[in-house]
Structure 1
C-alpha cells in the first residue's frame, strides 16, 4: 500500500474568496504540537508563507490549540474559539492526542467538531496528522494507523482535504534529509526543524490549492469563488450520536453547598471563569436536558478528587491520573461521563474529596465547563 501525504478533496473556495476580498482569518485547533505558545510550532511557517504570498490580504490568526487536549474538549470549544471569531480556514490536528481515547468516543467527538465547523457553510476545513511513536509499526509496514484511518473516513464522507504531516517528515528521515532527533527530540514534540518540515507539507498543499487565487485576475477568480460559495447541505452523519449538538450550562445556574466562589480566571487564556472551592465536603448539583455530559477543569497535582452520582444512583469516585509532566494546575482537562443516556432531564451531583493519594497534593476544585451533549 502506498501511503499519501496529501489528499485533495474539493477546493478551498472560501479561502480563495477571502483572499480576493483582502481579509482572511485562519484558525488552528489541536494539541501541543499545534499550540501557539512555544512560538516555533508548524502554524508559524504556514502563517508566514500566507502573509508573504498574499501581501494585499490581511491575515488574521486564531490559534485555539491547547496542549494535552483532544477533540472531545474541542467539540465544546468550536463555537467560542473558531466559529464566533470568523475563521475562514480551519486546520484540525487531533490524530495524536486522540490515540488513547476509545474509537467510538473519538469518532463521535471528531465528527461532531467537523460538522459544527461545516454547518454554516462559511469556512474550509483541513485535517492534519502529526506523528507519535505508536504509529511507527504501522507506517513502517505501509499501513495507516487506526487513529488516522478513522479521521480519513470522516474526511472522505465530508469531502475535506487532509495532510499527513507526520508521513512527510517520516519520509524525510528515510531519505536522509533530516535526522530523527532534529525532527522529534523527545519522540513526539518537534522543535524548530521538525516544525518547519510539518509546515512545509502544509505550504505545498496550499500552494497547489491557492495557485489559482494568486495567478488568475481577481475579477474572474471572484466570480468563481462567489459561484461556489453557497453552503451545501451536510450529508447524514456517519454516527448519529456524534457531538454536533452541544451546549454549555452556565456556571451561575449550578447549585452549591459550602464555601464556593465564581471567579474570573486570569491564569489560563482559554478559561473565562471557574467555580472554585478548596473545601473537602463541599457539594454542587445541577440539572440539564441532554443525553451526555462532560466537565472541564483547570487541573493538576493540587486538584481535589470528587465523588459523583447521576439521577440519584450509586456514588462513584473519580480517579484521574496525574502524569509527571503536569504541574499543580494549568491542564485544561475534560472528564467524560457518557453520551448514551436517554435524552431527557438529568441530575448530576458532586462532593469534593481529597483523594488520599500520593500524587494528590491539594484540594483545589476548579470547574471551568459543564458541557452537555444533546
Structure 2
C-alpha cells in the first residue's frame, strides 16, 4: 500500500530474458530432432539387418540325403516330426514370420518418423524462431519512466510531510497541506499509471510465454508419445511373434519328442528296435534236432597217444561223441573249439585193452583204410587207471560195433539217461 513500494520490476529487460528461455527450448527441440533422425536411421538399418537375418534362415529340412537303409535320397524333413508339431521343424516358419514382421514394423516406424514426427518438430522449431523475434520486438512495451516518477512521488511525499509539520508546530507556514496533498496524489496517479501499464505488459508477456511453452511441451510430448508407441510396437512384436510362439512351441517341447519320432515313425524306423524289446538268451533258443542224441558228448579227458615211430607218448585232450573221436590241445571248449585231429568211428574199431593189474593201462584203436585219413593205422591210447581205460574202451566198442545211427542213438539215450 505504500506509494513507493513498487511491485513490478521497472529496470529489467524481460523480453531478452524470455527470448533466452525459448532459445533454450529451441536447442532442446533440435536435440530431440537429432535423436529422432538417428532413430530413423537405426530403423532403416534394422530393416537391412532383418532382411539379412531372414536370408540366414536356411534350415536343411528340404535338403536330400541318402538313407542308410537304401541308396535312395529322402528329404531331411522326413527324419523329423512334421511341421506343426511344435518341434524343431516349426522353427524356420516362426523365425521367418518374426523377421518379416520386424521388417514391416521398422519400415512403418521409419516412414512415420520421416514423414510426420520429425517434420512437425522441425516446423515447431521454425515457428519458435519467429516467436522469439516477436518477443524481442515487445521491448518497447517495457520502456518506462517509472523510476523518475518514483523520485517525484518521493519528493512530493516529503513536501507533504513538511507542510503538515509546519501547520502543526510552526506559526510561519509557507506550504499548504491541502495543496501539497493535491500535488502528491496527482504524482501518485501518474506513477500508478506508469506502473499499471508496465504491469499489463508483464502480464501479457508472461501469459503469451506460458501459452507458447505449453504448445512446445505438448508438441514434444506428442512426438515422443508417437515415438514410444512405435518402439512399443517393436517390443511387443518380439513377444507376440517370437517369444510367445517359441514358448508355446519348441521351447516347451519334450526333448525326447524328436528322438521318439525318429526311431518309431521316420523313414529310418526299421533301423532301430523298441527299447522294451527283450534280449534273447541262449537258454531260450530252440532249433530243429537241438537235442538229437548224436550231438552229445559221451566222455572226455586227458589221454596219452603213442607215437608211431618213436614209441613215446604225447598227452592230449580227447572227446568222444557218438560219431567221432576228437583230439584237442586243451580242455577249454570255449576257447579251444577246433580239434587238431578227428577220427570217424565208422572207420574205427577197438580190439584189445590192458588187463587189470598191468604196468600201464592202454587200449588199441584201429583206423580202417578209407583213402582219406591214417590208412590202416593203429592208435595206442594210454590212460591213468584201469577204470578210466575200460570206460573209454567199452563205450567205443559199442559205438564202433555198428554204423546204424538208430542203434547209436539208442545207446546214447541209455548211457546218458536222455
What TM-score results when the alignment is normalised by the length of structure 2? Answer: 0.14
Larger radius of gyration: 2
Q: Which structure has more RCO (C-alpha within 8 Å, separation ≥ 6)?
A: 1
TM-score (norm 1): 0.15
